[in-house]
């Protein structure tokens, strides 16, 4: 992994806090380059869920996000390669099958029933849009329909309330698992 230098936002535009970004990428490099993982090391999930403060003239958000995507993919592939080296191809396939099976339970549900509705008065994700994404993910897993991990990683849903919405936390956790599986396969 090379040193990170990102372009900065210009004018009055906010970008990611350079100190936080630089610190995270330094820590990620150390974790990635270690021959065996240590407690507290970063992994693909840590990369996927990291957040940075926005500051004036910070690092360009889209450029950093693209670098994070590549970093997440690298960590996922490294974890796959380590598992295969340690326990064999069958162990990796078994783990992938286990994780994918946990997704299947949601994917086989009827439209409108993939996830719980949010608590009364709480905003959630639009059911129709989430159901559409679930249909595409199911086609990817069951029929081999082409879909990139970035299509899942970058999905944005409109918000809704009540019986027209799904619980955001459940959907986000599901999307994280889908990305985890897809990133380790590609």
Question: Are the C-beta atoms of 10 and 59 separated by less than 8 Å?
Answer: no
Q: Tell me what pLDDT residue 186 has.
A: 62
Task: Note the pLDDT of residue 59.
Answer: 95
pLDDT on residue 2: 44
pLDDT of residue 102: 80
Residues of the chain with pLDDT under 70: 1-4, 186
| pLDDT attached to residue 1 | 45
**pTM here?**
0.70
Q: What is the pLDDT of residue 177?
A: 86
CA distance 17 to 56: 8
Question: 90-124 burial by CB neighbour count: b if 16+ within 10 A, else e?
Answer: eebeebbeeebeebeebbeeeeeebbebbeeeeeb
Contact by Cβ (8 Å): 181, 96 = yes
Which helix (H) or strand (E) segment holds residue 56: the answer is: strand 54-56
82's tokens: 């380590």
Strands (E), 76-141: 123-126
The DSSP H or E segment spanning 160 is: strand 159-161
Q: Do the Cβ atoms of 3 and 36 come closer than 8 Å? A: no
Q: Is 133 helix (H, G, I), strand (E, B) or coil?
A: helix
Q: What is the pLDDT of residue 123?
A: 94
Give the pLDDT of residue 4.
57
Backbone angles phi, psi at 54, to 5 degrees: -95, 130
The confidence score (pLDDT) of residue 93 equals: 81
* Residues 103, 100: Cα–Cα separation, whole Å: 5
Q: What is the mean pLDDT of the chain?
A: 89
Rounded Cα distance, 68 and 169, in Å? 22
């Amino acid at each position: 992994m090379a040193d990170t230098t990102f372009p900065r936002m210009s004018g009055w535009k906010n970008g990611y806090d350079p100190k936080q970004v630089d610190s995270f990428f330094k820590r990620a490099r150390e974790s990635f380059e270690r021959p065996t993982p240590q407690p507290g090391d970063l992994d693909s999930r840590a990369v996927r869920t990291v957040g940075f403060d926005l500051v004036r003239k910070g690092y360009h958000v889209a450029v950093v996000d693209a670098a994070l995507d590549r970093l997440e993919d690298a960590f996922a592939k490294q974890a796959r390669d380590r598992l295969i080296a340690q326990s064999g191809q069958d162990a990796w396939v078994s783990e992938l099958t286990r994780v994918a099976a946990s997704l299947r339970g949601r994917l086989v549900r009827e439209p409108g029933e993939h996830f719980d509705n949010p608590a009364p008065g709480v905003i959630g994700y639009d059911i129709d849009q989430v159901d559409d994404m679930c249909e595409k993910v199911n086609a990817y897993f069951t029929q081999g329909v082409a879909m990139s991990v970035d299509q899942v990683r970058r999905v944005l849903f409109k918000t809704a309330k009540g019986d027209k919405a799904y619980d955001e936390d459940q959907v986000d956790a599901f999307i994280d698992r889908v990305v985890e599986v897809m990133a380790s396969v590609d």
